[in-house]
A = this chain, B = another copy of it.
Amino acid sequence: MTDTIEIPERSGTAFLLAAGQTLTVIDPRGVQVADLLAFNADDLAEVISSGRSLDYAETIFLTTGHILYSNRSRPMLSIIADTVGRHDFLLTPCSYDTFHHFYPDLPPHRGCFGNLAAALEPCGVAPDAIPTAFNCFMNVAVDGTTGILSVLPPISRAGDHIVFRAEMDLIIGLTACSAPASNGGSFKPIEYRVD
């Protein structure tokens, strides 16, 4: 087993995940969110697709046994363990613009979008290529009648985690969330481990 790595609060990172390796994303203190992106390491135009994954899963709540598909309908990551069961795959990572929109009274922050863009830039990923992320532990409720979306505090507790198996060689982007509404108003680190 490899070391656990910390992503400091309001920051992000990028790394290679080889086919067959597992990625464990841990919420070490609870009630925190980690935005996850995946790109085919050999062809960056192939990228995680919320629309394809939701279509195949036939649910908005992906958990153990579900697959995150690419825009080419190929499996990128399989969820093989999940102690939480509530993650979001509807919303894009918050950005400077979304901060300005939702938190006009707070100092603006580049958000998970800016953190992912900075972490992925050395890998050759342009900011425009960042799609809707798989937002680990993010708790977005949908009212099935009205359609209204509500961003609620995560239900994750300290030590909760989700485990993915890579189905191809991937470049992963991963953050510790920067948006107050997504994590109950607190900013905390995220941890991950590659095995």
Contacts and interface: CB of A to CB of B under 8 A. Distances in A.
A72 B126 CA distance: 12
Contacts of A59: 146-149
Interface stretch (A11-19, A26-34, A94-102, A158-166): A94-102
A122 interface: no
Interface string A122-165: 00001011111100000001111111111000000000000000
Q: How many copies does the complex hold?
A: 2
Most chain B C-beta atoms within 10 Å of own C-beta, residue among A59, A72, A147, A150: A147
B55 A73 contact: no
Contact of A46 (B50, B128, B130): B128
Interface SS of chain A: helix, strand, loop or mixed?
loop
Interface of A: 45-47, 49-52, 54-61, 71-73, 90-92, 94-95, 97-98, 101, 126, 128-133, 141-150
A71 B128 contact: yes
A183 B174 CA distance: 38
Which 9 pairs of residues, A with B, have the shortest CB-CB distance?
A: A51-B92, A61-B147, A51-B132, A73-B97, A45-B128, A144-B144, A59-B147, A60-B147, A55-B91
